[in-house]
Amino acid sequence: MSPSAYGGVRYKTPLEVLWEDVERIVCRTRRDDPRQSVLIVLPAAEHPAPGTLRRLANEYGVILNLMINAVEAMSGDGGGARIARQHGQG
């Protein structure tokens, strides 16, 4: 499946495929500020297996927890707790 057509979502800049395997495609795109890039991980199959979706969800959770810990360490004001609540982790 073409990552640019995934889910009918249109991106402001084309998706640049950085890496792919049988389960996932890792892409990069840009936000409005060309210095800000966004990494996107998509299932490679149009209809991914439940195990693939569980692994992707687990990877997202690990990344989210790392982000929360980094925000809390930098801010010291509990900003990480706010992020956790926004993403259903707290």
Identify which has the larger pLDDT, 27 or 69.
27
Enter the tokens of residue 36: 């800000």
The per-residue pLDDT for 62 is: 86
Which DSSP state fits 7?
G
**pLDDT confidence of 87, banded at 50, 70, 90?**
low
pTM of the full structure: 0.59
C-alpha–C-alpha distance, residues 84 and 90, integer Å: 5
pLDDT in tens, 11-43: 667 889 999 999 999 998 887 777 778 888 889
pLDDT in tens, 39-66: 888 899 989 999 999 998 988 888 888 8
Which residues make Cβ contacts (< 8 Å) with residue 15, sequence separation at least 6?
3, 4, 27, 28, 29, 40
C-alpha–C-alpha distance, residues 26 and 61, integer Å: 17
